[in-house]
Amino acid sequence: MAGVTFPASNAVDFLVIGAGAAGGVIAKEVAVAGFRVVVLEQGPYLRDADFSHDEIKYAFLPGLTNDPRLQPITYRKSEADRARPVKAIEYGRQVGGGTVHFTGNYWRFHESDFRERSLFGAVSGADLADWPIAYSDLEPYYTKAEYDLGISELAGANPFEAPRSKPYPVPPMPVKGSGVLFDRAAKKLGLHPFPAPVAILSRPYQGRAACANCGFCESFGCEMRAKSSTLVSVIPVAEKTGRCEIRPHCYVRKIQTDDAGRATGAIYFDRDRREIFQHAKVVFVCANGAETPKLLLMSKSKRFPDGLANSSGLVGKYLMWDNGAPAQGLFEHPLNEYKGIQVTRLIHDYYAADPKRGFYGGGGIDARFDFYPAGFALHGLPPDAPRWGSEYKKMFETYFTRTMMLLSHTTSLAQAKNTITLDPEVKDDWGLPAVRVTCDYHPDDVATMKWLMAKQIEILQAAGAQKTWSQPYDIADNMPSRHLMGTCRMGHDPRSSVVNVYSRTHDVPNLFLVDGSNFVTSGRQQPTATIQALAYRAADYAIQATKRGDLG
């Protein structure tokens, strides 16, 4: 498709690095507001016909995600350990980023998420802090995201939901077998199950088709365009303005600054690995909670010797992990959970942290089935099942159709020792340093998962499970982390945060960072709704500031 192209030597109004959940939103907002924008995305620009239902390609190989063969990741539990190459983090690597293949769970934060330090108090060994903004600051932008992208759910169905200014634009998805059993069991236990808010269309919306329940959803792209990725929702709107150029296969290695300390653009490798410098008046980095700090750390210069926007020393610090644990149950009758989207029912009864529990933390629990046939054959059966032979085959046949999972999504405490840094030894295929992840659970993270696991088993049993099983709690069992949060913290004070309340860096006036890196706390996972609300808010601010002449 021929679109607008801008010469690299002319400064565009906005440069966006990363065309994912946040980058797609920023591109659309600034283009619609009349500005010229170039979006540099390291991955390809895929179309509907590029997606298939190939489990090996997408669930085992990095069909849509970062490829450790080209861009290795190293991991260690603590600074004392030697980092070893392992795919510790996973993110979508294409136009649309993680929204192309994500599960689509779209949870707004609760009001309490923004002030847990005040509500709960300090947690030893962690840096639990309040956000510098309140839920009410983000509410209009959550609503904007839900309407622009297309989110299905019923307003008010979740009794713990924060106030909202508008109902959802699309009704909830039809309930699955797991949802029916979960709903009944949770109600029996006095809990409050509700339909899952998802970035998946239950009805045609804005020219896109409704979900066909094809069953290849999590980890797959949607050839129906029913998954509300930025690829099929906001990015086409941005391109239609004639002011937005999406440039795929462009891997940014450095953000340049001038003598005055302002960003002037970015140097990237194009598809043929030639180095190009794109000039820009304002730069938005939306490369996610791992790649954004990596890029800032690689962008050091004489003026910024510790990395760009890093006068606080906090770039890369406070990485928060994708915490949660699965419990599975076997049922008498077939549930055929492999059909349809992953999640249709969940609870937020245990969401709020409660000091009476003796530890910080809380979570949501949803009913789902996270397996496709080959994955289930390898990892889906209970730990005591035989690994081969006729008994194994019989079990596979029975369990594949009769199993469901309750998955918790739990808090991850911000700890200064959990970081993204540049690996001093391992390089990627372009000769750039690999992302090095240093991360381990806080004891309260583990306590929360264990506490919720007892609730998950209780619900499975109330639902009539004949047998239940779960997994141990080691961070290695919870890899890769797909929710990359907290590495360029938002705050008022430049000494204790990297970006301000509008995601603008304290150090470089025309540089914004908008993605999971802004998070001060982890909520209860499912960060994308909040990432996109932050993106709408930052775009709104940047547009007004540019019009006033404060930025460009």
User: Could you tell me which of 107, 197, 179, 89 has the C-alpha nearest to residue 369?
Assistant: 179
How far is CA 76 from each of CA 65, 86, 420, 425, 439, rounded to the nearest angstrom? 21, 9, 11, 14, 7
Partner in contact with 213, chosen from ligand SF4, ligand FAD, none, beta carbon below 5 to 8 Å by kind? ligand SF4
Residue 226 touches ligand SF4, criterion: CB under 6 A? yes
Q: Is 146 a binder of ligand FAD (CB under 6 A)?
A: no
E-only strand ranges, 433-515: 433-438, 467-470, 511-513
Per the structure block, which two tokens stand in for 413? Answer: 């405490």
The answer to whether 193 and 187 are in contact (CB under 8 A) is: yes
Q: Which does 527 bind (CB under 5 to 8 A by kind): ligand FAD, ligand SF4, none?
A: ligand FAD
Rule CB under 6 A: say whether 486 interacts with ligand FAD.
no
Residue 528 interacts with, from ligand FAD, ligand SF4, none (CB under 5-8 Å by kind): ligand FAD
User: Where in 320-479 does DSSP place strands (E)?
Assistant: 326-330, 345-347, 363-368, 403-410, 419-427, 433-438, 467-470
What is the C-alpha separation between 418 and 437, in angstroms, rounded? 8
* Contact flag: residue 368 with ligand SF4 (CB under 6 A): no
Give whole-number Cα distances, 136 to 4, 110, 140, 514, in Å.
37, 10, 8, 19
Query: Taking CB within 5 to 8 Å according to partner kind, which of ligand FAD, ligand SF4, none is near residue 217?
Result: ligand SF4
Report, in Å, the least distance between residue 460 CB and ligand SF4: 24
- The phi and psi torsions of 302 (rounded to 5 degrees) equal -60, -45
Q: Kindly state the smallest distance separating residue 200's Cβ from ligand SF4, in Å.
A: 4
213 touches ligand SF4 by CB under 6 A: yes
Looking at the Cβ atoms of 24 and 361, the one nearer to ligand FAD is 24
In the complex, least distance from residue 531 CB atom to ligand SF4, rounded to whole angstroms: 20
- Token pair 């923004």 is found at 114
**Smallest distance, ligand FAD to C-beta of residue 515, A:** 3
Which residue number has the CB closest to ligand FAD? 20
Phi, psi values for residue 83, rounded to 5°: -75, 140
Under a CB-based contact definition with an 8 Å cutoff, are residues 211 and 342 in contact? no
**Interface residue with ligand SF4, options 11, 162, 189, 214 (CB under 6 A):** 214
Residue 350 binds ligand SF4, judged by CB under 6 A: no
Q: x-or-dash pattern for ligand FAD, window 242-271, by CB under 6 A?
A: ---------xx-------------------
**Cβ distance 377 to 59 under 8 Å?**
no
Site for ligand SF4 in 182-211 (CB under 6 A): 200, 211
Residue 212's binding partner among ligand FAD, ligand SF4, none (Cβ under 5 to 8 angstroms by kind) is ligand SF4
Q: Which one, of 535, 69, 505, lies nearest residue 296 by Cα?
A: 505
Please pick, from the candidates 63, 68, 72, 97, the single residue that binds ligand FAD as defined by CB under 6 A: 97
User: From residue 220, how far is each of 58, 92, 367, 475 by CA, in Å?
Assistant: 6, 10, 19, 25
Q: What is the DSSP string of 325-344?
A: -EEEEE-SS---TTSS-S-S
Residue 456 has phi, psi (to 5 degrees) of -60, -45
Give the nearest distance from C-beta 374 to ligand FAD in angstroms: 16
Whether the CB-CB separation of 524 and 413 falls below 8 Å is answered with no
406 binds ligand SF4 (CB under 6 A): no
b/e code 30-58 from CB counts within 10 Å (16+ = b):
bbbbebbbbbbbbbebbeeeebeeebeeb
Residue 128 near residue 414, CB atoms below 8 Å: yes
Helical H segments across 104-218, by residue range: 116-120, 135-149, 177-188
Q: How far is the CB of 223 from ligand SF4 (least distance, A)?
A: 7
Nearest-approach distance from CB 287 to ligand SF4, in angstroms: 25
Stretch touching ligand SF4 by CB under 6 A, among 154-162, 163-171, 222-230, 430-438: 222-230
Pick the piece of the chain touching ligand FAD (CB under 6 A) from 125-133, 238-246, 282-290, 392-400. 282-290
Q: Does 330 bind ligand SF4 (CB under 6 A)?
A: no
Pattern 296-335, binding to ligand FAD, x per CB under 6 A?
Answer: ----------------------------------------
Residues that bind ligand SF4 (CB under 6 A): 200, 211-214, 216-217, 220, 222, 224, 226-227, 340-341
Residues that bind ligand FAD (CB under 6 A): 17-23, 40-43, 65, 90-94, 97-99, 101-105, 218-219, 251-252, 286-288, 291, 295, 482-483, 515-516, 526-528, 531
